[in-house]
Amino acid sequence: MTFLSKTFKLLAATAAIAAATSALAAGPRIFVIGGKADDPFWSRVKKGADDAGLVVKAAGGSVTWLGPQTYDNLGPDAAKLIRTALSQKPDAIVGPDWVPEAMDAAFKEVVAAGVPLIIYNAGGMEAAKRLGAMNYVGSEEYVAGQGGGEYFTKSGAKNVLCVNTQPGSTNQESRCKGVADGMAKAGGKSTQLPLPASSFGNPTAVAQAVKAALQKDKTVDGIITISAGDATSAATGIAQAGLVKQVKLGTFDIDPTNLARIQDGTQLFCIDQQPYLQGYLAVSMLNSFVQYGLKVPSAPLLTGPGIVDASNVAATLAGAKAGAR
């Protein structure tokens, strides 16, 4: 081998190493599909993703959050966000499978393009396997609902309304079904009170609907909502109906206002899925996979459910004050 050919080979090897080092130094470009920016629940998911993103950014990468403007057309709008992320040639994507019939085709395009995908928050491990995603990070919504239904019955409730302001959304439907099945085991019952998606986060609409439902059916002795914000609205509706002492209130997810009601005895419980961890773990896992080929063998990676009630609310408040719970 001549000196010139050796030199060329050395230069080629050096260039390859430099290219690989440069790619690693650039860090991954991770896109996260989530909820509305002003949604209190999703702000906690985003905080987790942003905190995990500090490590990504330190390596020269980026974490980009994409969310819908409203929830009125959730499935199709979310599918557009997935395709928008894919068009940016990302290194990885995180997303919830809220409405499978509208979103699955877009997720399959992500996997077909060879982009690592993690499903989080909605869809469960079933969706992750169906779509070819690496993993699922979040709570099992049906199981969470069952736990809520059983907790209601143990607390004496026999007829619970599940207030659903996102009807058709897979995770919310699973929650309400879980509540009904959990109560049925102990001889209780739960029916769904579906409201238009425009009611989500609308205090007046939810309060009026809850008040009307309680006035119509005097046997209802429990209300559970699919979001912490809706629980505050439901509390208003219960008060307006004059039934604070008769109707027990529970909710999926937590916020400081709900925790304060648990402390003062006007709310029974919250079902926590630790949204901060959903964003944090999903981004961290993809960053580790893209940069180093690391994979977590546990699947799914569950962040809930857990019941927050009078017995543990004080400990939960510290996390809430930090914006992580």
pTM of the model: 0.81
What angle in degrees, to the nearest 10, is found between the helix axes of 256-264 and 313-321? 150
What tokens appear for 98 in the block?
A: 């809220």
Confidence of residue 21 (pLDDT cuts 50, 70, 90): very low
pLDDT given at position 200: 84
State the Cα–Cα distance between residues 142 and 171, nearest whole angstrom: 8
Edge to edge, the sheet with strand 159-164 lists 189-194, 159-164, 222-225, 248-252, 269-272, 306-308
Instruction: Name the band, by pLDDT with cuts 50, 70 and 90, for residue 201.
Output: confident
Specify whether the CB–CB gap between 161 and 219 falls below 8 A.
Answer: no
Specify the pLDDT at position 12. Answer: 42
166 pLDDT above the threshold of 80:
yes
Name the average pLDDT for the chain.
Answer: 91
**270 has pLDDT over 70:** yes
Model confidence at 217: pLDDT above 70: yes
Q: Which residues contact 5 (CB under 8 A, 6 or more apart)?
A: none
Q: Is residue 40 predicted with pLDDT exceeding 90? A: no
pLDDT digits over 73-123, tens only?
999 999 999 999 999 999 999 999 999 999 999 999 999 999 999 999 999
pLDDT band at 25; cut points 50, 70, 90: low
Q: What would the mean pLDDT of 144-161 be, rounded to a whole number?
A: 97
Give pLDDT, residue 197: 84
What secondary structure letter does DSSP report for 295?
A: -
Q: What is the pLDDT of residues 224-268, one digit of tens each?
A: 999 999 999 999 999 999 999 999 999 999 989 999 999 999 999
238 vs 23, more confident: 238
SS3 102: helix
For the segment 33-41, the average pLDDT, to the nearest whole number, is 91
Give tens-digit pLDDT for 289-319: 999 999 999 999 999 999 999 999 988 988 7
